[in-house]
Structure 1
Amino acid sequence: MKKNKSILLFLLFLSLSVLAQDQKSNWQPASFQIVKAKYKTFKTTQYAHVFSGSKNNIVRLAPELEGLNGVQLPLEQYKKGTNAALKLTFKENVQLLIGTFQEKENKDYFQFSAADNAKLVLENGATVTGLPAVNVYAISYSKGTHTILPNAKGLFVVLGAVKSSQNLVARNAEFPDGKLWNPTFIVEGFSDEKPLFEIVGGETKPVIDEGFPGTEGIQGGFEGGRVVKVGDTYHMFPTERAGEIGVDYYYDRVKTKIGHWTSKDAINWKRESTIYQASGTYALTEDDNPMNDRRGAIWSYMPVFNKKANKWYGYYLAYTVHKEIQPNHSFGRIWRCESTVEGINGIGGPYKDMGIIMEPGLDSQPWEGRQGVASFFPYQVGEKWFGFYSGAYPFETWADYPKNSGKGWFVALAESNSLEGPWTRMNKGLEPIKSIHPVFVENPIVSQLPNGLYIAIFDGGPDGWGHHLPNMMGYSLSKDGVNWSEARYWPIETKVGKWWDIMRTPLCLIPEGNDVYTVIYNTIDLNKRFHPTGMVKLKLNRDVMEARLKELK
């Protein structure tokens, strides 16, 4: 008897599990056609831009909705009530899925009434950047042509249509409010505009991961640095988060190394040497004090070949590190070094230090924060040199120094007549560049496209740890190297199987011929301490490149 009861309970559990799984599987789409009006459809998926003429995109989506076909409504017209009627033709009886925004008192957003006969099927079923949380309703329509919500006032989302026979089991998907995200990022391939780069390939697993040859003694993996190609060989100079045995993973960021790795294919890598090793010594005081060891952590090594001097220069970041104050990286200083071996093949060094070129001081501004100067990358425009420098954990005013910092990762420009310097903050560093993204641009690396446009690739910021950022690599364009465009972001996981949780820093944009480029990038897998490195291939669209140049004139 007990045995039979156990079997029954097991079968009941199995049935409930199958039912729950079925509820969360993709709903089957029903086809429809848009009648006359110039509305476009979109694939209902993460990153989809749900309105024409806007940047609002999906960052969270219930799996039931994945892969349906939605309709892009013109945002401003629907807000103002000046939109053309949306007419759809259905070849069969359907349930149309409409998303409404959870601000019932806000007249910008449409809300159902009892007369609409709408059934709530997904509470908090999607998150759209910059907009309130989305509830998803189903409305039944018979076969034929229908005007959709002809008397609706305010904004809503058409997420797709499913067959009338589809069993829509209501649940709360528990996705967050979209107002946590700033709706200022454009995802390549999902907006109204054509992408500058198409993702054409890449590795579906890390090219360097824990346990690979050369990673011995590197507990925390990799973050930042640069990759360059000399002849047929790739040279990578990553920050190795070596850490200390028995010390918490957060402190892998302290006792760091700059390694030199090489590869013939950007996939199989060999560690050649250590360029620099940080001391790992913690600060004695809370402020930027000469008593502290100012090379407790070393990061962000950027090799640049100086044709005039016929040798490689390196620019890198040295931090004071504090054991208790976040961020534990503080008061960054940019050092310049030179290879002791002349010529293009002297990239492996050894290198000798030539001194500090940029540091906190009287010309620093509060936005540079406790972490600034937090990175540096020089690039040439004509006879002039410019350099992106960054700050993080800003002070609102100098009265907040040294501990009371906020959040924000910013960049600005310095200028010089030579790579050696002196380097001067442009505009006295009064304001960071916010045209790229208002709150997060980290570790930009600059190169030029075939038509002369400057392109800066950078870390777009995590969607995690309380941050609500794109979680993608981004790029910005400039005609003159000074004024930079709004960022676009690369959704690598749409073409390459996603093996990471958090996308971090791109290390290069290397042209390989036929408009194909190699990008090496760092990531975080939340299931492991070691931060691995990946590789992806991009294809440049020259027509879009020329169109972007015209837009910037």
Structure 2
Amino acid sequence: MRDSKMFFPFPIVLLMLFSSVINGVEEVKGKSIPGSAQQLDQTEKKGNSTWQGSDFEIESKGYESFKTVKFGQVLSGANHNIMRVAPEIEGLTGVKIPADRNKNDLHSPLKLSFIEPVKVLIAIFGNKSIQKFDTEKYQRLLGNALTVTGLPAANIYAVSYPAGRQEINLEGLGSFTIVGVIKNEQDLIKRDVELPDGRQWDTFIIEGYSDEKPLFEILRGPEKPVVDEGMPGTEGIQGGFEGGRCVKINGMYHMFPTERAGEIGVEAYHDRIKTRIGHWTSDDAINWKRQSTLYQSSGNYALTEDDNPINDRRAAIWSFMPIFNEEANRWYGFYLAYTVHEEIEPNHSFGRIWQAESVKEGMEGIGGPYKDKGIIIEPGLNSQPWEGRQGVASFFPFKVDNQWLGFYSGAYPFDSWKDYPKKTGEGWFVGLAEADKLEGPWARMDTTLNPIKSIHPNFVENPIVSQLSNGLYIAIFDGGPEGWGHHLPNMIGYSISKNGYNWSEARYVPIETKVNKWWDIMRTPLCLIPEGNDVYTIMYAAIDLDRRFHPMGMVKVKLNSDVLGRFQK
């Protein structure tokens, strides 16, 4: 479970301010935080309205068009996607340049056909000088006007062409793409848009915006949260929700979110310390009823800096994951308990995974009550440095053949044990543990496998694993925020495995392209529930930064089964 503090050596007061990004404090309502997506959006809107586009046709083979909008892929054959775009060029139709030609700076003339005199808008990435070109031909219009993952910020130049078929000679421009074709006669205001450098973002694969056919098609979802402040059952929950798991049994959905309960009259920062595990039910995944409280944390802060038994090791409780144990004919719940330090980052530290068993036998025991059976994985002599000060930070078991594997996570890693307990680095990672039975004993796999970085090099959080009908395993997870020191996808991600050990590079699902984006920060998915005909339900927690309360959302997606073949090779 991600901690709210960031990787900045600021005083604790500023750290508490910045913690609104992740798990908790959002007391800066109505204000722009420097470097935030909110502020950047305001910067983009200082320009004039979108320039008027003109229709054209591509007559050269090997080129295709794209829309100059957020997530748009600007080069074919490489995952470089738009994260920020100046309003003047937003929505225009551009031409993808093949990445291999861009890399070698070799381009055969591009043939385009225009119906009227036009200006072709060329985005040149970085400080490539075009002084050697005719300056009257290449007119610079916008500086730092396009942010693309993995590439320098782009400057926009315009080149005029008459109507008819024209050859666009692009050799020598360095790394570039064409972001639009606009009518020749219109007022164009020159300015510096001041968008950030795209090299702050790693490249990643966005479903529907890459050269690959997407595995998931986003179908529909409510245009607002399905569990929100003021709804029945939310009484006493100051800060809303975070991760956990949702399952469907005999047509009924059972959701076990982390409730950021907090205390009335206590600042929002405490919402993520005084937590509890709730049980909610619904027959449609839209209208929810709260049934009970399974666990409540103490909310007590630690007395020492290290992992000391004098501290309350159940100060904060998160991420209840129910798994049905067929051998025991009972539900087993796995949840996370933290020690919490009020001043040291990460304040959520030294996580321990508890195992609980339903008192009632059979599937109907899902709602509890549960009795604790003990800790199955915790910090100790078998810990690995990448688990860091926060680990163990989540746990999800899944069965592979006759064996059980479990994703467990860590964060704020140590380079070596000499850095314990406070000298931490960056990253949220996952590894695998194994057991012969669900109840354990569980053992970490060694560092030849852990941490698993094939999914993402430095951020995977709270993965939940399902097995698809063709036998492949799929993990869905929180892909991490953008802004506030992070430049991550801010989307739900997924990874595929044939054997549970080796996992594919993450793909990210841009729900906001089909559902009204009521959130600023996408957080944790709680399920991928099959509904038949390849349709799945996803429940997710997300954050609206203007509010203290973090709601729950829902979306339906459809799996394109013909795409699965690429993961079976």
Instruction: Identify whether the pair has TM-score above 0.5, normalized to the shorter chain.
Output: yes
2:281 paired residue among 234, 237, 262:
262
Q: Which of 82, 87, 95 is 1:71 aligned to? A: 95
Deviation at 1:22, TM superposition (A): 10
Q: Tell me the SS of whatever aligns to 2:446.
A: helix
The Cα shift of 1:153 comes to 4.3
Q: 1:122 aligns with which of 142, 166, 169?
A: 142
Q: Show CA shifts across 1:434-481 (max 9, x none).
A: 100011000000001111110000000001222100000000000111
Task: Tell me the equivalent position of 1:163.
Answer: 183
- The counterpart of 1:89, out of the listed 106, 113, 135, is 113
**C-alpha distance in structure 2 between counterparts of 1:528 and 1:36, whole Å:** 51
1:216 to 213, 225, 235: 235
Q: Which whole-Å CA distance do the structure 2 matches of 1:59 and 1:81 have between them?
A: 24
Structure 1 residue 403, shift from structure 2 partner: 1.2
In the TM superposition, 1:233-382 aligns within 5 A as: 233-382=252-401
Q: Residue 76 of structure 2 aligns to which amino acid in structure 1?
A: S
Higher Cα Rg, which structure: 1
Farther-moved stretch of structure 1 (428-437 vs 157-166): 428-437
Q: Which residue of 1 aligns with 2:10?
A: none
In angstroms, what is the RMSD of aligned CA positions?
1.6
Kindly provide the CA deviation profile for residues 375-405 of structure 1, in whole angstroms up to 9, marking residues without a partner as x. 0000001001000000011112222211121
Deviation readout 1:47-79 (Å, 9 max, x if unpaired): 111111101111111122222111111112222
Q: Which amino acid aligns with 1:407?
A: E
Distance 1:112 1:343, change over 3 A: farther
Which of residues 526, 545, 549 is equivalent to 1:507? 526
Distance 1:377 1:150 in 2: 51
C-alpha distance 309-79 of structure 1, shift in aligned 2 (>3 A): same
Q: CA deviation at 1:29?
A: 1.6
Q: Give the CA deviation at 1:429.
A: 7.4
Give me the whole-angstrom Cα distance separating, in 2, the residues matched to 1:21 and 1:270.
41
Give the aligned partner of residue 3 of structure 1. Answer: none
In the alignment, the residues of structure 2 paired with residue 202 and residue 292 of structure 1 have an alpha-carbon distance, to the nearest angstrom, of 43
CA distance in structure 1 between the aligned counterparts of 2:402 and 2:188, rounded to whole angstroms = 65
Gaps of 5+ in 2: 1-43
Unaligned runs of 5+ in 1: 1-19
1:64 aligned partner, one-letter code: E
CA drift at 1:251: 2.4
SS of residue paired to 2:262: coil
Deviation at 1:111, TM superposition (A): 7.3
Q: Which moved more, 1:121-130 or 1:352-361?
A: 121-130
Q: More displaced, 255-264 or 120-129? A: 120-129
Residue type of the alignment partner of 1:91: I
Worse-matched range after superposition: 450-459 or 427-436: 427-436
More displaced 10-residue stretch of structure 1: 220-229 or 238-247: 238-247
Q: Is the 8 A contact 1:74 1:83 kept in 2?
A: no
**CA distance in structure 2 between the partners assigned to 1:261 and 1:224 by the alignment:** 13
Instruction: Kindly provide the amino acid, as one letter, of the partner of residue 122 in structure 1.
Output: L
1:40 corresponds in structure 2 to 64
Q: Is the 8 A contact 1:311 1:339 kept in 2?
A: yes
Letter in 2 for 1:70: G
| Secondary structure of 1:347 counterpart | helix
- Over the matched positions of the two proteins, sequence identity in percent amounts to 65
Task: Pick one of 173, 176, 190 that aligns with 2:196.
Answer: 176
Whether 1:52 aligns to 2:76 is: yes
**TM-score (norm: length of structure 2):** 0.90
Match of 1:461 in 2: 480
Question: Is residue 385 from structure 1 mapped to residue 385 from structure 2 by the alignment?
Answer: no
Q: Does 1:543 align with 2:543?
A: no
**Distance (whole Å) between structure 1 residues aligned to residue 408 and residue 448 of structure 2:** 10
Name the aligned partner's letter for residue 392 of structure 2. V
Instruction: Work out the CA distance in 2 between the residues paired with 1:149 and 1:275.
Output: 67
Which of structure 1's runs of 4+ aligned residues deviate more than 6 A? none
Q: Following the alignment from structure 1 to structure 2, what is the Cα–Cα distance between the partners of residues 441 and 22? A: 35
Q: CA deviation at 1:528?
A: 0.4
* In 1: Cα distance, 2:45 partner to 2:462 partner: 42
Instruction: Name the counterpart of 1:136.
Output: 156
- 21 and 420 in structure 1: CA distance in 2 versus 1, 3 angstrom threshold: closer
Give the deviation of 1:102 after TM superposition. 2.3
Query: Which deviates more from structure 2 when the two are superposed, residues 112-121 or residues 444-453?
Result: 112-121
SS at 2:109's partner residue? coil
Tell whether the 8 Å contact from 2:128 to 2:173 is kept in structure 1 after alignment.
Answer: no
2:47 and 2:87 in contact (8 A); partners too: no
After TM superposition, give the deviation of residue 221 of structure 1 in Å. Answer: 0.7
- SS of residue matched to 1:346: helix
Moved more, 311-320 or 95-104: 95-104
- Whether the 8 Å CA contact 2:108–2:169 is kept in 1: the answer is no
SS in 2 for 1:33: strand
**Which residue of 2 is the match for residue 9 of structure 1?**
none
State the alpha-carbon separation in 1 of the partners of residues 305 and 448 from structure 2: 24
Partner SS state of residue 65, structure 1 = coil
Structure 2 counterpart SS, 1:63: coil
The equivalent residue for 1:28 is 52
Query: Is the 8 Å Cα contact of residues 58 and 126 (structure 1) preserved in structure 2?
Result: yes
Q: 1:111 to 1:218 in 2, by over 3 A?
A: farther
Secondary structure of 1:493 counterpart: helix
Please tell me the residue identity of whatever aligns with 2:165.
Answer: T
Determine the C-alpha separation between the residues in 1 that align with 2:333 and 2:563. 34
Distance 1:450 1:31 in 2: 45
Cα distance in structure 2, aligned partners of 1:370 and 1:53:
39
- Secondary structure of the 1:216 match is coil
| Count of residues in Structure 1 that have an aligned counterpart in Structure 2 | 526
Distance 1:262 1:31, change over 3 A: same
Counterpart amino acid of residue 475 in structure 1: Y
Q: Provide closer, same or farther for how the CA distance between residues 84 and 450 of structure 1 changes in structure 2, counting only shifts above 3 A.
A: farther
8 Å CA contact retained: 1:198, 1:541: yes
Matched, 1:396 2:420: no
Residue 102 in 1 paired to residue 121 in 2?
Answer: no
Shift of 1:26: 2.4
